[in-house]
Structure 1
């Protein structure tokens, strides 16, 4: 077998840790031997149904063992895994399926209406349902898996081959498919293992969706590579998280500031035994000082980091022992990754000077799926241009000064203004719109739409929301709309969002 890809990891781990628990979900557990067997069967079953190297297999579902089984089975074949965000609207699902050219869709029964609507005009020819009944057009997941042989599939896969296409909303509207190679994911795991000290004795509780690269690549994959245990929760429920931390003796927990805030504010926080916790990783936005102090009282420190889908996703990470000394920082460069700050001409800047953050390393993508224009614009002299602004201090710790001008992070979800603005502009009465983020105690930020109406027309906030409902994911829909006579613009016609932020934020 000449397969260097991530698809072989569980099979290789079975040789060393056959009886160790790999996955725990909904009260049931799978050993590495059990998981390897199920992956092998699914891989062979998919191959028998025509899935070949380079084909795309899409997955629409919440945190469930089938997500990881499908990922490993698909990549074992040299095919490409396409995880879909379950929070998207049907047109967004449809775009991802069409753009990726996925021919197989595996989906959870509770998402069947979304799967049907999203795959209506796509190239999907094979549909497999999880925890649902088969029909003439859909096969049952467990039946498919049972039909495959428990033998390792023979395929040639290199570290340079694509493993996953992850769709990330673009600043120009349509999402872009970031192509993560087997090497990108492997090196990102090395970064996590080195900088977080992941071992076979660790147990990670995943409360963020696996279709987000952080949960998958910083939580599940490093843990399974090392032979540790992954505990999956389909949804985030603070009481269940606290119960699981105590009962499962969780050592590693990842989330965004909102999730950690909700845990700390829960009535069971003080009474829960969290002594097993060793590593808390946080991304999405900076951790408020009051939250750092609240967890420090329980003997815990955060390792806040910075990254993006295109870096698989780790670029920097904070050593936990420095979290209170470098408040506001997103840490240091990951072990195998390089980061620099440059000016508008691409010249590297010294510590203390703000510029664009650029990233290089074996964990950085080489391209977007079928988007040579976007790929060319994203790189400068081999470095990935993040579009984010920041600076290093004299000790090598990075501070993020600003994000992409038009991006809002709400509860860990990225909201790109251009995408939402484009849908609002479909309304005939709207002559101009600008989306900005306003601070929110719970979610970090919430989207606010500032709308300019055509003369003599009238709309309400509910009219805007009604138009967006069903067209965009719920988290992208503004919770507040302000109507304004005229949007402030530059001489070239661009909206001066800084003025809007100054007024409304």
Structure 2
């Protein structure tokens, strides 16, 4: 069984069930499955064969759903990308990923025209129509160098039919290549197989008890693996309904809560912070939610407790990474949830904490989190040496420092690369950030290491405060009451906002680069 087979099975079993809501309209499972089949047929008529690579440059929309499942049903490998990436980043992924067909928003046509000369392997560009902004200039497509290769999503869908010959797809065939964020060097493409994606979606949905009565707010970016599995694939394989949100905003989420009776919301900590801080939001608006899911980054315990108390809904924090499709742990729903923990291993997935020799460390000790299971990628695309350095004896080395308690709950301490060493002592940024988030005037905080001539490194904190009177001295004094002296921030910088990626995850790397700039 794979994702597209399961979609077809669900459409056959409950054809009139609503598959998704988007922009005031809804489509049934039968309509979605039919569109997927027709689009797959249209791709085949464009020359897409089993094993070809199809790139997606799309936001949250039915285009993404139909493009993703249609390409996989045609036997292709899908490469989702952030449409907000720069031409250089997109050009690299399209070239390195050997993409044959690009499915893109039409507003990105100037970008495609710019990168096209460096992409000799791209044979077709399929443009998805978007509402024109007032005053936006019209693009004369016939004057573009890529115009002979241009198609529209509507025309490709219309050219397809239901006599599709679905190629045989094996469990180990690559379904999706997800490029990592590339915090160091070039991004690497994690190859996720059909088995990887289906097993993780199935195991996550079992763990979190997804069912056909759920209505899942899909506000995370669909091109990101967190959304792909938790807020898209897992609901769909259970016949749930997606509420597709083009772009996250607190107002939209509360409006959805009032009008569409959602039962599940998935987001990163920054989203929960925005919802918590939104003055017009109330618990009554979100009363139908049975579960909130947090991932992508560690949620400060103070934020988790404040959110739960204000909105009277459980937040289950989990952990994952692209190379594991992505989920490896979640806080269970049938046992006590532990704030600050990423939970226990999900069904069919093993996690353990090891030392530098790969040996499991005693309970409570910090080491590197490693993962094993049917969800672990088969490797990095065209990078066998990187694959061998990341997957050893079937265990995926995550690069995250963690510890496990006596009941099997895991706690992320920090990224190995983010750890700060002050005079020989290890300082984990998250520990300092937890203290900062407890301050009543601080809404966002991040901590990085900066060079120090005496101690090697020092702790620097970046803060967003709702109190313009808050001073650096007051922040350090507050921290001194909760942290050992060597963990205290030696510098505090106030910003209007912290840099974030497309999912809302705070980018420590960008802050570290900012801190290194001469002032």
Partner of 1:371: 383
**Cα separation, partners in 2 of 1:286 and 1:172, compared to 1, 3 Å:** closer
Partner of 2:308: 296
Q: CA deviation at 1:440?
A: 4.2
Q: CA deviation at 1:151?
A: 3.5
Structure 1: distance between partners of 2:460 and 2:418: 9
Deviation string, structure 1 residues 231-266 (Cα, Å, up to 9, x no partner): 111111110111012211111100111101111111
Partner of 2:112: 115
Structure 2: distance between partners of 1:268 and 1:330: 30
Q: Would you say 1:315 and 2:328 are equivalent positions?
A: yes
Q: CA deviation at 1:10?
A: 2.1
Structure 1: distance between partners of 2:90 and 2:207: 35
Q: Is the 8 A contact 1:61 1:111 kept in 2?
A: no
Q: CA deviation at 1:6?
A: 2.0
Q: CA deviation at 1:321?
A: 6.7
Q: Is the 8 A contact 1:342 1:356 kept in 2?
A: yes
Deviation string, structure 1 residues 204-230 (Cα, Å, up to 9, x no partner): 111110110000111110111011101
Deviation string, structure 1 residues 54-101 (Cα, Å, up to 9, x no partner): 000001011011111111111112110010112311101000000110
SS of match in other structure, 2:237: helix
Structure 2: distance between partners of 1:17 and 1:186: 20
Q: What does residue range 252-291 of structure 1 map to in structure 2 within 5 Å?
A: 252-270=264-282, 272-291=284-303
- 5+ residue gaps in structure 1? 418-433, 443-473, 486-505
**Cα separation, partners in 2 of 1:124 and 1:272, compared to 1, 3 Å:** farther
Partner of 2:191: 179
Structure 2: distance between partners of 1:350 and 1:119: 53
Q: CA deviation at 1:199?
A: 0.2
TM-score by length of 2: 0.78
One of 49, 53, 57 as aligned partner of 1:52:
49
Q: CA deviation at 1:23?
A: 1.4
SS of match in other structure, 1:221: helix
Structure 2: distance between partners of 1:139 and 1:483: 45
SS of match in other structure, 2:34: helix
Q: Is the 8 A contact 1:97 1:119 kept in 2?
A: no
Tell me the matched-pair count.
Answer: 430
Q: CA deviation at 1:271?
A: 6.4
Partner of 2:490: none
Partner of 1:358: 370
Structure 2: distance between partners of 1:483 and 1:103: 40
One of 126, 131, 143 as aligned partner of 2:124:
126
Q: Is the 8 A contact 1:171 1:406 kept in 2?
A: no
Structure 2: distance between partners of 1:435 and 1:280: 36
The Cα RMSD (Å) is 2.7
Q: Is the 8 A contact 2:200 2:327 kept in 1?
A: yes
One of 2, 11, 30 as aligned partner of 1:14:
11
Deviation string, structure 1 residues 261-282 (Cα, Å, up to 9, x no partner): 1111112212642111011110
Structure 2: distance between partners of 1:265 and 1:182: 40
Question: Larger deviation: 346-355 or 284-293?
Answer: 284-293
SS of match in other structure, 1:173: coil
Q: CA deviation at 1:142?
A: 0.7
Partner of 2:232: 220
One of 397, 411, 417 as aligned partner of 1:385:
397
Partner of 1:91: 88
Partner of 1:168: 180
**Cα separation, partners in 2 of 1:227 and 1:299, compared to 1, 3 Å:** same
Structure 2: distance between partners of 1:269 and 1:329: 27
Q: Is the 8 A contact 2:349 2:371 kept in 1?
A: yes
Q: Is the 8 A contact 1:203 1:231 kept in 2?
A: yes
Structure 1: distance between partners of 2:302 and 2:184: 36
Q: CA deviation at 1:46?
A: 0.4
Structure 2: distance between partners of 1:435 and 1:39: 54
Q: Is the 8 A contact 2:202 2:237 kept in 1?
A: no
**Cα separation, partners in 2 of 1:437 and 1:336, compared to 1, 3 Å:** farther
Partner of 2:342: 330
Q: Would you say 1:211 and 2:223 are equivalent positions?
A: yes
Structure 1: distance between partners of 2:117 and 2:86: 13
Q: Is the 8 A contact 2:217 2:244 kept in 1?
A: yes
Structure 2: distance between partners of 1:384 and 1:68: 29
Q: CA deviation at 1:483?
A: 4.4
Structure 2: distance between partners of 1:435 and 1:222: 43
SS of match in other structure, 2:256: helix
Structure 1: distance between partners of 2:250 and 2:285: 14
SS of match in other structure, 2:11: helix
Q: Is the 8 A contact 2:354 2:361 kept in 1?
A: yes
SS of match in other structure, 2:417: coil
TM-score by length of 1: 0.80
Q: CA deviation at 1:435?
A: 13
Deviation string, structure 1 residues 409-459 (Cα, Å, up to 9, x no partner): 99xxxx9x9xxxxxxxxxxxxxxxx999855459xxxxxxxxxxxxxxxxx
Q: What does residue range 214-253 of structure 1 map to in structure 2 within 5 Å?
A: 214-253=226-265
Q: Is the 8 A contact 2:79 2:178 kept in 1?
A: yes
Partner of 1:305: 318
Q: CA deviation at 1:166?
A: 0.4
SS of match in other structure, 2:360: coil
- 5+ residue gaps in structure 2? 131-138, 420-428, 434-445, 449-456, 466-505
Structure 1: distance between partners of 2:182 and 2:45: 36
Q: Which has the higher contact order (CA 8 A, sep 6+)?
A: 1
Deviation string, structure 1 residues 265-307 (Cα, Å, up to 9, x no partner): 1122126421110111101222223322223323211110111
